[in-house]
Structures are given as C-alpha cells and as structure tokens.
Chain A
Amino acid sequence: MNSFTYTAAPDANTAAALLTADKHAQLIAGGTNLLDLMKENVAQPAALIDINNIDGLDGITTLDNGGLRLGALAHNADTAYHPLVEQKYPLLAKAILSGASAQLRNMATNGGNMMQRTRCYYFYDTSTPCNKREPGTGCSAIGGYNRIHAILGASDSCIATFPSDMCNALAALDATINVTGPEGDRVIAFTDFHRLPGDEPQLDNILKHGELITSIDLPKNGFEKNYAYLKLRDRTSYAFALVAIATGLELQDGLIKNARIACGGLAHKPWRKPEAEDYLIDKVPIKENFEAAADIILNGAMGYKDNAFKIELAKRAIVRNCLTAANLNN
C-alpha cells in the first residue's frame, strides 16, 4: 500500500469539496474493495476521504410515492435484513445475501457496492497489461484465461464483468441513484449508471470526480409476488457469479403484465434488454416464451476461449429463474 493522507469528512458537501480539490483523492466508506485494491497497488490514492461519519446517509426510509430510500452508507446486511426490504423488495434482499460473506456484508455500504470494481484477475495483477488499470497497455483477458469474463457488450479494449449481485436487483427494480457534487445534485437512472467499456474501460460508471452517491431510491413496485434470484458460481457460497439472474414478474389472469430481467456476470454492467421484457407482455409464463426472451437478451453474445459455456448457461438460467418467479406462490 502506498502512503496517503486521511481526512474524515463531517458532511457530504465537505467530502465533495475535498474530493473535487484533489484528483488523486478517493472516498472510503466500507473499504472492503478499495483497501484490497490498495494492498495490490491497483488503487493508489494520494488521499482518502472517510465519509463514514457523515450523518443522515445510513438510513432506510419510506418515500411519499410509496417507494423506499436506501442510504448510501447503509450497510449491505442492514439493508438486506431491513423489514421493509424483506417484505416489499425480497428480490433485493436475496441478491444482497447471495453476495460476499456475512462479514463483508456487515462492512460494505450500498453506495460502495455500486462503486466496486471488476474482479478480473488481470485487473488485479499489476504485472500484466490491463486497459482498465492502465489505459493503453492492452487487455490480458482477451487471449488469456477468461472464464469469468463478459459475453455481452465487451470491446476490443476490455472484457471485464461487473461483479455486484445487489446491483442486478437494483437494475431490475428500476432504482434511481441520488448524487451530490460541486455542480449540485442529480438523479441517475440505475441502468444508466454503469457503462460499457468501449475504448475507455477505465471508467466503470458515469459518476464524475467530485460527486458522491447519497442514496438509492426504489420505486413502489417491488415485484414481491413473483420474483427470483439465481446465482451460478464455482462454489455454493462466497464466490462471484458466473451467471446471475434477477427476475421480477407481474401476473394477471395467467398472463405476464410486467417483466424485468437483469443479468449479472455477463457484461460490464447489469444487463437488461427492454425488448425482451416487452416481448413477454401478455404472454403466458411458460418455458417457450422465456426461451424466446432469453434469446433476445443474449442476442449478439460472444464467447471467448474459456467462457463460451456462459451463453448456454445464461439462457438456461434465465428460463429457470423466470419459471421460478412465475411459479412462486406468495
């Protein structure tokens, strides 16, 4: 780990100002990913701004529109086990609890979960080229060992995947992210927050330097009657997803009236295809229709040497998870 200065910010405005003033500064909340990256010399901030002491960012509160606001500093575990999340947004609770370990979920924050970086082995290995870590050096995963890598939305610069489980549920639920910064507050649709690598894979998301996440808003509809989260990985607990599927359905008179399918482990961001969800409207919730939706979601998927299996795996996982959601008797 390199040496750095440390400042505990008393409020969000001070944190944003400190961050804006130093382009080599970074915020620290739970620290579970950032400190790991610093130990590997992948992240080398000159200054850490600790936002844990900022009041008012760790709450979980109901919104006037019937939705729920998740504080950016609320811990993942506290969020997953919150009674309102368990009751109204069980998809989110299940996604959070399928990620990391109990200790990490106690430490990690909701804002930090969104800001976590890829677990691409080459991104972590500073002895290898990586366009995400050092732009212009090349991608070691293309042509290297790429079992955990992307099959959708990748580029010639980067085939890394975004590792979060929580974010798959937030994408499916159409959450919005509240951000503050030197230019004021703004709201970002969840599916717009993370970006595809293109030729700037060093940028994981559209947050500007100087901005910080203050909360995440969930809309009223939590798909609590028909939901499912499926995570497939190399061991049954405490591993990142090879393929993860978050599904929310609304059924009426035996027909699908609303569908959300967000996929993790496939791309540089939680992968949603509105065309597939639209396709399912007014269809019966049977295997054949979910297979057709899966084909739309996976249209254009491309495998590499070690991850081509993910294309078929993802298709089967989508179908299975949608059937599970449709047949849930809540």
Chain B
Amino acid sequence: MDENITAVKDAPVAEPKSHPVTININGQQHQLLVQPWVTLLDALREKLDLTGTKKGCDHGQCGACTVLVNGKRINSCLTLAVMQNGKEITTIEGIANGEMHPMQQAFIKYDAFQCGYCTPGQICSAIGMLQEGHATNREEVKELMSGNICRCGAYSNIVEAIMDVKEGGQYE
C-alpha cells in the first residue's frame, strides 16, 4: 500500500492521551482535559453542559452547531476541542447581555422558527454574518446564511429578522 494513502486500515491503536486546554467560553475561563478526538461541539455539550449548541448532521452541512470563535462563526462539529486552546468562544448561551440580544428579539418578533432546533445556530450565524459586514441586501443575507439549514422552512422569516437587526429595527 502506498504511503500516501490516508485510509489506513492497519493503523496501530494510539494510546489515548488527554490534553489540557484553556478556553474562554462566554466570558468565563474553562480548563478542560480532552481526548484528541473530542470535537468542540461535543466538549460544549457533554463536558460543559452548554446544550444550546445543537448537533444536527455532525458533518458541517446543517449549521445547527454554529458558534463564534474569536468572533467568527464556525461549525463546532468540524473542529477539535484540543485545537481551541486560548480561543474565545461565544455560544447561544452567551449571546444575551442582561436582556435578550437584538437578534434573539427579532427572531421572536418575526416568528423566525417553528421547532427551534436550528435556531441557536441561525442566531449565532446571523450575528457572525452581520459582524463580517458583507451582506448588504436580502439576497446577500440568503446567500451568506446558506450554511444554516431550517427543515421547518422558516427561511423567509429568518431573513426578515436578520434584515430588521441589520437596519437597526427600522426594516419594514
């Protein structure tokens, strides 16, 4: 078998060694001991009980697991917790500041969900998108939110809610 082949069926079983990581999550420092194969998503949900971040597809296709890492939206299912040492992470639990974040309020105002499972990811993604500053109209919002699937089909109201926040509550 060529050495460049990545699918190694006879790979020796590695000694499972845990690694210490320090991650700031929602403004609070956490020191964790994680096995290398634990994704950030699983660390949030299973180790820190931050279950607001949802596991949908676990393959980066649905966006339910979207969180902000150093202010940028990413799929937490496709990165390892051990790779997040020293990072600042914001999950849906850290979005509100005393009162609900304007994006949370807008999602309620515009009825931008039905079952709600994708909503934490939608809200984190929408906040990340507005911080990126590349969406100027509805079409661009739709394109730049395409990494977040809503199987209830609340897309039109999600776009309305995001546009309302983008326009500072002046969107009609």
**Can you list, as one digit per residue, whether each of B120-138 has a CB less than 8 Å from chain A (1) or not (0)?**
0000010011001010000
Could you tell me which A residues sit within 8 Å of B by CB distance?
1-6, 8, 23-24, 26, 28, 30-32, 35-39, 42-48, 50, 52, 77, 81, 100-104, 106-107, 117, 133-135, 200, 202-203, 207-209, 237-238
Give the residue name and chain of the B residue nearest to A5 (CB): B14
Overall SS of chain A's interface: loop
Q: How far is the CA of A104 from the CA of B78 in the complex (A)?
A: 9
Q: Is B79 a contact of A23 with CB atoms below 8 Å?
A: no
Assuming the contacts A6-B82, A36-B60, asked whether A46 and B11 have C-beta atoms less than 8 A apart, the reply is yes
- Of B4, B72, B78, B85, the residue contacting A208 (CB under 8 A) is B4
Q: Are B6 and A6 in contact (CB under 8 A)?
A: no
Interface segment out of the listed B107-115, B141-149, B164-172 = B141-149
Whether the pair B4, A5 counts as a contact (CB closer than 8 A) is no
C-alpha gap A148/B167 in the complex (Å): 40
Taking CB atoms, residues of chain B closer than 8 Å to A52 are 83
CB distance from A28 to the nearest CB of B (A): 7
Asked whether, in the complex, the Cβ of A45 is within 8 Å of the Cβ of B58, the reply is no
- Shortest CB-to-CB span from A117 to chain B, Å, is 8
Instruction: Knowing A31-B78, A103-B125, say if A45 contacts B73 (CB, 8 Å).
Output: no
Of B37, B78, B82, B85, which contacts A36 at CB under 8 A? B78
Which residue from B2, B74, B129 sits with its C-beta under 8 Å from A202?
B2
Question: Could you say which interface size class chain B belongs to?
Answer: 35 or more
A219 to B124, CA, bound (A): 38
Q: What's the Cα separation between A77 and B73 when bound, in Å?
A: 11
- Enumerate chain B residues within 8 angstroms of A134, measured Cβ to Cβ: 7, 9
Q: Are A46's CB and B12's CB within 8 A?
A: yes
Closest 6 CB pairs of A and B: A101-B147, A6-B36, A237-B146, A238-B146, A46-B11, A23-B3
Tell me whether A32 and B75 are in contact (CB under 8 A).
yes
B78 to chain A, nearest CB (A): 5
Complex interface: chain A residues within 8 A of B1 (CB): 135
Which residues from chain A contact B82 at a C-beta distance below 8 Å?
6, 50
Q: Is the CB of A238 within 8 A of B147?
A: yes
Binary A-proximity of B1-43 (CB < 8 A = 1, otherwise 0): 1111111110111111101000000000000000111010000
The one of A50, A103, A200 that contacts B83, using a Cβ cutoff of 8 Å: A50
A44 touching B11 by the CB < 8 A rule? yes
Tally inter-chain residue pairs, CB-CB below 8 A.
Answer: 133
Inter-chain contacts of A133 with B (CB < 8 A): 7
B9 touches A44 (CB 8 A): yes
A-B contact pairs, 6 of them (CB 8 A): A5-B15, A6-B19, A102-B145, A106-B74, A133-B7, A202-B2
Please judge, given known A-B contacts A44-B11, A45-B6, A135-B1, whether A35 and B80 are in contact too, CB under 8 Å: yes
Q: Give chain B nearest CB distance to A219 CB in angstroms.
A: 27
With A48-B36, A52-B83 as contacts: A103 and B75 at CB distance below 8 Å:
yes
Residue of A nearest to B83 (CB): A50
Contact in complex: B14, A43 (CB < 8 Å)? no
Q: Enumerate chain A residues within 8 angstroms of B12, measured Cβ to Cβ.
A: 24, 46
A5 x B11 contact (CB < 8 A): no
From known contacts A103-B147, A107-B78, A200-B2, infer whether A35 and B39 are also in contact, taking CB-CB under 8 Å: yes
Given A5-B17, A42-B7, A102-B129, 20 further pairs, Cβ under 8 A: A4-B37, A5-B36, A24-B12, A28-B80, A31-B83, A36-B60, A43-B6, A45-B6, A46-B12, A47-B14, A50-B83, A101-B147, A102-B146, A106-B128, A107-B75, A134-B9, A200-B2, A209-B4, A237-B142, A237-B146
- CB closest chain-B residue, reference A78: B72
Q: Which residues of B contact A81 (CB under 8 A)?
A: 132, 134
Q: How far is the CA of A32 from the CA of B39 in the complex (A)?
A: 12
Contact A102 B73 (CB under 8 A): yes
Supposing A45-B8, A135-B2 touch, asked if A3 and B37 sit within 8 A by C-beta, the answer is yes
Give, as a whole number of angstroms, the nearest-CB distance from A50 to chain B: 6
B60 with A102: CB separation less than 8 A: no
Kindly state the separation between the CA atoms of A50 and B83 in the bound complex, as whole angstroms.
Answer: 8
- Report if B104 contacts A (CB, 8 A): no
Q: Give the Cβ gap from B69 to chain A, nearest Cβ, in Å.
A: 8
Q: Are B8 and A4 in contact (CB under 8 A)?
A: no
Tell whether, in the assembled complex, residue A106 and residue B72 are in contact, meaning their CB atoms are under 8 Å apart: yes
Binary A-proximity of B61-86 (CB < 8 A = 1, otherwise 0): 00100100000111100111011010
With contacts A39-B59, A102-B132 known, is A24 near B73, CB below 8 A? Answer: no
